[in-house]
Structure 1
Amino acid sequence: MLTSVHLKVISILSILICILSIAGLITLIVIWHTKLTPFKDYAVVVDAGSTHSKIFLYTWPADKSDGLGLTSRVTQVKACSVPGGPITSIKDPTENNAQQYFQSAMTDCISKIPSTRKRRAYIFLGGTAGLRLFDMKNSSYTKNLLNSTRAYFSTLGVHFKAPENQVRIISGSEEGLSGWISTNILMGKLLENNQPLETYGVSDMGGASTQISFIAPNAANDSFNMNLFDTEYDIYSHSYLCYGTEQLRLLYLGQLVNDANGSLLIDEPCLQIGYIQNLTYDDIFNTPCIQNQSIPLPSLNVSSIFSFIGSGNFSVCSDTVRERLNKSACTSKDCSFNNVYQPVPIPPSNKFIAISAWYTTFNNLAPNVSLSPNKDGNFDFNSVNFNQIKAAIAAICSQPWSDMSEPDKYRPFLCFNSMYHWTLLEYGYSMTDENLKNFHIVKSINSNDIGWTLGYMINQTNAIDPELRPTRLITKNEFGGLLFLCLFFLILSAIITIIAMKYYKRRRYY
C-alpha cells in the first residue's frame, strides 16, 4: 500500500518529468525555428536573349531533404536588365568587354545575396535563339563570347565550378519546357494540383524564336515526358527558330524587297500610313534566317538602302504575313505550318498563357480592344473574339503616323507585331474563339516574371551537389515523434501529479 512518503516521491518525480517535458517542448520549438527553417541558397540566371539580356536572382531553401525543394520552392528575389542591347552587341568578345557589358546590372543583383551565402550561390547563363542564330553564322565568335563570359563569371566570387554547363546556348526545346514549368509552378498547377489535363499551355514569343508547349498525351512528335512530384506529364513542345517577332519581320521585309523588282521605294502595308523606315541590304539579309528562306535576288546591290513606306493596308498586311506561315507545306492534318507536326485541333478546354513579347505588344493594343488588365495587370480573353482583335489591329494599321503624339521606338511596329501574333495564333496554331475563352496574356504572377529562367532554375536545383545541401539536425518525422512523446509525458506526469497530490492530502487528514 502506498504511504505518504511514496506519494510524495511520486509527486516529485512526476513534477520533474513535467518540467523536463516542458523543457523538451521549448527545445523542439527552438529547433523548429532555427534548424527546421533551412538556410536559403541563391542562384543567378542570365537570360541572354536576341534583343536584350536580363539577370534574375532566385532563392530556395538550402535543405532539400524533404524533397519539396527539388522543384517547387524557387522564388524570384530581383530582376536586373542589362543596358546596351543583346550580349551580341559585344563586338570584341574579351573578358574586359564582357565585364563592362554585365557589370552594373550584375553588381545590382549580386548585392542582394547575403555575404554568408555568396560563395554557395550558383550562376548560369542561357543563350537563346539569338545566340543560336549567331552560332550558325559565326561559331568562332560565339565560342569566344561564351569563354569570355565564363572568365568574367569566375571573378564574381560565386559558385562557378562547371563553366561549360553553367554558361551555354540552350536548345529551343529546353527553352520551351522551362517556360512551361515556370508558368505551371507559379499558377499552382504542379505539386498542389498534380492533374496533367488542368495544366496551362504556354506560348512564348521572343525576338528570334517562338515556342508553344501544352499537355498532349497522344502527340506523335515533339513529345517530352516529364516526371514532377511523382506525376507523369506528356508535353508537346516545339520551338520555331526564326519565327520570333524581329526575325519574322526581316523575313517579311525580305519578301517585300524581292517582290519590288529592284525598286528601293517599297510599299509596306504593315506600317502606319506615312511612316518611313530606311534599312540597308545588310540590315535585312545578313541573318541565317533570311539566307535560308528568302534568298535576295542576284540583281540587288549589296550597298542598297531600302525605304519602306507605310500604307497601313490591313488586308494586304494580313495576306503577306500569312504567306510566312506556309500551310500548303503540311502533309497531314496534325500540322501547324511549314510541315511542322502539331496536334490539331487544340482542345478548347486547354488553358493557355502567352508570355514575353506577347505581353509587351498586346499591352499597347489593348486600349483599341477595350480590354483592361485584371488586378494583377494581366489580360483575360473570355469575353473577346478574334474579329474584335482584328478590328483593333485594322484601326492601328490605318492610323496616320502624323496623328501620333510622342510615340516610343516600338510604336511604329505595333501593326505588324500584332498582326503576326494573332495570325500565328488563329491561322498558324489553328485556335478558335472557343480557345480564346481560356487564353491569357500574362506579364507576371505574384511578382515573379514568367519566362524560361525560373523553370530552368528549378531544374538546376536538382543537380546541386549533395554536399552543398546541409542536413537538418532532425527530420520532420523525428520532430513529430519527439513532440508527441513530450506532450504524452507532459500530460501523463501532470495527471499522475494531480492524483498523487490528491491522495497525499487525503492521507494527511487521516
Structure 2
Amino acid sequence: MGLSRKEQVFLALLGASGVSGLTALILLLVEATSVLLPTDIKPSQPAGSGALSPAAVPGPGISSYTSNAAQAGESLQGCLEEALVLIPEAQHRKTPTFLGATAGMRLLSRKNSSQARDIFAAVTQVLGRSPVDFWGAELLAGQAEGAFGWITVNYGLGTLVKYSFTGEWIQPPEEMLVGALDMGGASTQITFVPGGPILDKSTQADFRLYGSDYSVYTHSYLCFGRDQMLSRLLVGLVQSRPAALLRHPCYLSGYQTTLALGPLYESPCVHATPPLSLPQNLTVEGTGNPGACVSAIRELFNFSSCQGQEDCAFDGVYQPPLRGQFYVEASYPGQDRWLRDYCASGLYILTLLHEGYGFSEETWPSLEFRKQAGGVDIGWTLGYMLNLTGMIPADAPAQWRAESYGVWVAKVVFMVLALVAVVGAALVQLFWLQD
C-alpha cells in the first residue's frame, strides 16, 4: 500500500529541512577571510595608490617675500584653488589644511624675526579665510623635516606595513626600510635606521607607526642646501681672491656674467663682510676647471673637525655608520637659468655624499635618485600631513575573521528554509486530518 498524501508531504518537508540544514552547516565551515577593522582614527590611504599627489606652487618660497609679506599669502592662492577643485564642495569645511615652513623660513627667522612673523601672519590670514579647516602654520625644526621625509619614502614603498598573500597585515623586516636624503635650497637632510644605538640623542627621532616602534638617526645641515651653497661658494671665491674680475672654476669656460656683490653677504649663512676695495657689481668669468671647483667646494666643509672621531660626518656632527638603501630626491629644473650651476651642484652633491656622509664604492650602489617612491612624491610634505592627520595609526591594524557577504546571505537563506521545513513538518503532523 502506498504512502498517504499527508505522509508524502511530511517526508518531503523533513527532506527539505535536512538538505537546507546540511547546506547551512557546510557554509558554516567555509574558511573566513582576514579583514582589517577600522581603527578609532582616520584610515590611511593605501600606499602606492598614487592618489596622494602634492601640487607644486609656482614661484619662490614664502621666505622670499620679505619686502611685501602680503604677497606671501597671495602666492598660495593658486595652489589652494587647485586643491579645492579636487575636493567635493561639501567636504571643503571638513578638509584639514596645514602650512609647514622649513629651512628658508628658519634662516629668515634668524636674520629678521619680525619679517618672519609678518609672513606667517599673511599666510595664516589667507588660509584662515579660505573654505577649508585651517589648522595653522608652523616652523618645522630641521630634525622634523628629515624625519617626515623618511616617513614619506617608507610609507610610499610599503616598508612600514603591508598586506601579505596569506591575508594578514605584517611588518616587513627592518632591513627593507630605506634611508632618505634630501637636498633643499637652504638645507640638506639625512635620515636612516642605524645598525646600533644612536649615541647622540639630539639626532634621534622616535615614532610608533602601525604598532611598531622606530628610532631613526636624522640631522639637518642648515646652510648646506643648494642655493645657500652656491652663495657661500661665490663669497668664498671673492674672499680668497678679491678683484673686480672673479674667475669661477665651476662655471663653463668663457661664460661671463655680472653679479651684485651686496646680496651675497645678506644671508645668515655667510659670516664675512665684503672687501671694501670691490665695486658694487662684480664681473664673474668661468674657467671650467673641475679640480679647482672641487677644491673650492671642499672649503665649505669643516672635515678636520672630525679627525680622531669614529662616528662623525663633517663640521663635528655625529653620524653612525651608514646602513641600508637610500632614496635621494631627484629634481629636474629644466630652466636655462640653472645651467651655469649644474657643474657646481653636481660636484657639490658628489662631495657631500662621498666625503661628507661617507658613501664609498661599496655603498654607492645603495643610492637611488627618484622623483617618487611607490607612486608618491618624495619630500617631507606627505610625511608631515600623515603625521598631523593621524593617517598612519600608532597601533597595528586590528585583525578579524569574516566571511564574504554572499556566503553569509546563502547561509541565512538555507537556515531559514530548514527552519520553515521543520515547522511545516510539525504542523502537518499535528493538524492534518487523519485519512
Query: Could you state the TM-score of these two structures normalised by the residue count of structure 2?
Result: 0.79
Where does residue 302 of structure 2 map in the other structure? Answer: 326
| Cα gap change, 1:277 to 1:334, in 2 (>3 Å) | farther
Query: CA shift at 1:185, angstroms?
Result: 0.8
User: Are 1:65 and 2:47 counterparts?
Assistant: no
Alpha-carbon distance in structure 1 between the residues aligned to 2:213 and 2:175: 11
Alpha-carbon distance in structure 1 between the residues aligned to 2:58 and 2:408: 59
User: Are 1:245 and 2:222 counterparts?
Assistant: no
Alpha-carbon distance in structure 2 between the residues aligned to 1:10 and 1:476: 41
How many percent identity over aligned positions? 27
User: Are 1:299 and 2:276 counterparts?
Assistant: yes
Matches within 5 A, 1:308-457: 308-330=284-306, 332-344=309-321, 346-347=322-323, 350-355=324-329, 358-360=330-332, 408-457=336-385
Q: Which has the higher contact order (CA 8 A, sep 6+)?
A: 2
| Cα gap change, 1:314 to 1:478, in 2 (>3 Å) | closer
Deviations 1:363-387 (A, max 9, x none): x8xxxxxxxxxxxxxxxxxxxxxxx
Query: CA shift at 1:139, angstroms?
Result: 0.6
Where does residue 119 of structure 1 map in the other structure? Answer: 93
Query: CA shift at 1:430, angstroms?
Result: 1.2
Query: CA shift at 1:264, angstroms?
Result: 1.7
Unaligned runs of 5+ in 1: 22-35, 38-62, 365-406, 465-474
SS, match of residue 65 in structure 1? coil
Query: CA shift at 1:202, angstroms?
Result: 0.8
Where does residue 204 of structure 2 map in the other structure? Answer: 223
Query: CA shift at 1:327, angstroms?
Result: 1.0
SS, match of residue 336 in structure 2? coil
User: Are 1:490 and 2:413 counterparts?
Assistant: yes
How large is the Cα RMSD of the aligned pairs? Answer: 3.9
SS, match of residue 220 in structure 2? strand
User: Are 1:130 and 2:104 counterparts?
Assistant: yes
Given the alignment, which residue of 141, 152, 172 partners 1:194? 172
Matches within 5 A, 1:454-493: 454-462=382-390, 486-493=409-416
Where does residue 158 of structure 1 map in the other structure? Answer: 132
| Cα gap change, 1:236 to 1:285, in 2 (>3 Å) | same
Query: CA shift at 1:137, angstroms?
Result: 0.7
Alpha-carbon distance in structure 2 between the residues aligned to 1:436 and 1:489: 61
Query: CA shift at 1:90, angstroms?
Result: 2.7
Alpha-carbon distance in structure 2 between the residues aligned to 1:158 and 1:265: 53
Deviations 1:315-347 (A, max 9, x none): 111111112121101151211111011113x24
Query: CA shift at 1:225, angstroms?
Result: 2.2
Given the alignment, which residue of 255, 260, 278 partners 1:280? 260
Q: Which has the larger radius of gyration?
A: 2
Pairs aligned (count): 395
Q: Contact between 2:326 and 2:366, CA under 8 Å: does it hold in 1? A: yes
Letter matched to residue 411 of structure 1 = L
Letter matched to residue 340 of structure 1 = V
Unaligned runs of 5+ in 2: 1-5, 25-34, 163-170, 393-397, 429-434
Given the alignment, which residue of 123, 140, 144 partners 1:174? 144
SS, match of residue 111 in structure 1? helix
Alpha-carbon distance in structure 2 between the residues aligned to 1:279 and 1:139: 27
Q: Contact between 2:102 and 2:142, CA under 8 Å: does it hold in 1? A: yes
Alpha-carbon distance in structure 1 between the residues aligned to 2:259 and 2:416: 88
Q: Contact between 1:209 and 1:245, CA under 8 Å: does it hold in 2? A: yes
Alpha-carbon distance in structure 2 between the residues aligned to 1:463 and 1:438: 29
Deviations 1:432-488 (A, max 9, x none): 122122210000235421110111111011299xxxxxxxxxx99597599876554
| Cα gap change, 1:458 to 1:477, in 2 (>3 Å) | same
Deviations 1:337-359 (A, max 9, x none): 11011113x24xx101001xx43
Alpha-carbon distance in structure 2 between the residues aligned to 1:224 and 1:94: 33
Alpha-carbon distance in structure 2 between the residues aligned to 1:457 and 1:75: 15
Where does residue 90 of structure 1 map in the other structure? Answer: 65
Alpha-carbon distance in structure 2 between the residues aligned to 1:94 and 1:245: 24
